[in-house]
């Protein structure tokens, strides 16, 4: 129980972010994932539902491992929350699981790590498929150079050079647990896990890595950008369409359901989970 007479419910959520102006509810008439999901859940509860999420994604960014929670006085089965929400949601938002949580659970503040994947389609010809779900880069990219440069970022650092100007985080110092760069045919995947992320941090890292992969800058440029702590030293912010929030991790005490690490079209590549 969250409080007297209330249940705290956690949900696993996935969405295609292309037509949304990000996760967070905004002014009336602006389409967001939060408001869309709250409206669907409110129909199931027959009362207003207000959500808190693990990570607020930007416009155009996708998620296959988002975690949210809400408090309600309404009793429903977990199947009813999942199926009822999905019946009332558009095709590009889906609830994958639901669970009653203890009062001290919080989708954002109890998260101990977050994991993103950035997917690049690397070919001279623009793809006709998945064009809102991957980032196309026509320049031949050297994955080995990108992987080497990525290692400069692993560990605890001041990531000010990869931080958007409007970032509201209290500190630019974050611990990056891993940053893997792998090629799978025409696709290159950046897999990045950290304690938390700054605004645009993954997209700014992706922009630097693609510049290095294209041979426009040396591998050591990543170290120079990091140590500069100046955002303008890092070049362009990569497109949002290739970015996915794929996993949010919590302590074992919460026993949240586990699903595969997405996005869906990468689930056949077992080596990604190494």
- Output the known binding site: 116
Q: What would the two tokens of residue 219 be?
A: 């591998």
**What 3-state class would DSSP assign to 131?**
coil
Output the CA torsion 129→133→139→140 (10° steps): -80
Verify cis geometry, omega within 30 degrees of 0, for the bond prior to 263.
yes
58 belongs to the catalytic site:
yes
**Cα distances (angstroms) measured from residue 180 to each of 18, 122, 137, 138, 177:** 25, 17, 18, 21, 10
Please list, in sequence order, all residues whose beta carbon lies within 8 angstroms of the beta carbon of residue 213, skipping any fewer than 6 positions away: 139, 141, 142, 143, 145, 146, 188
CA dist., res. 109 & res. 122, Å (int): 37
Binding-site residues for substrate? 116
Q: Are strands 187-194 and 243-249 parallel, antiparallel or unpaired?
A: unpaired
Catalytic residue among 58, 71, 92, 142: 58
Q: Give catalytic residue positions.
A: 58
């Amino acid at each position: 129980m969250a409080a007297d007479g209330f249940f705290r419910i956690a949900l696993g959520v996935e969405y295609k972010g292309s037509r949304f102006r990000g996760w967070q509810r905004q002014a009336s008439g602006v389409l967001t994932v939060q408001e869309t999901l709250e409206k669907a859940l409110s129909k199931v509860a027959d009362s207003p539902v207000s959500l808190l999420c693990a990570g607020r994604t930007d416009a155009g960014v996708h998620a296959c491992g988002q975690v949210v929670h809400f408090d309600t006085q309404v009793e429903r089965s977990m199947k009813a929350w999942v199926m009822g929400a999905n019946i009332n949601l558009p095709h590009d938002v889906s609830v994958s699981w639901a669970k009653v949580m203890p009062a001290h659970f919080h989708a954002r503040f109890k998260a101990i790590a977050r994991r993103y994947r950035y997917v690049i389609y690397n070919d001279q010809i623009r793809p006709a498929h998945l064009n809102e779900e991957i980032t196309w880069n026509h320049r031949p990219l050297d994955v080995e150079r990108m992987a080497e440069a990525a290692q400069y970022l692993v560990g605890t650092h001041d990531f000010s050079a990869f931080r958007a100007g409007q970032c509201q985080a209290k500190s630019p110092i974050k611990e990056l647990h891993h940053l893997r760069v792998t090629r799978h045919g025409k696709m290159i995947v950046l897999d990045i896990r950290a304690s938390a992320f700054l605004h645009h941090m993954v997209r700014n890292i992706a922009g630097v890595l693609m510049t290095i992969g294209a041979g426009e800058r040396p591998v050591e440029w990543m170290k120079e950008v990091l140590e500069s702590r100046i955002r303008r030293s890092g070049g362009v912010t990569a497109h949002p369409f290739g970015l996915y929030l794929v996993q949010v991790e919590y302590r074992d005490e919460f026993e949240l359901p586990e699903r595969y690490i997405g996005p869906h079209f990468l689930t056949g590549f077992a080596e990604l989970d190494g």
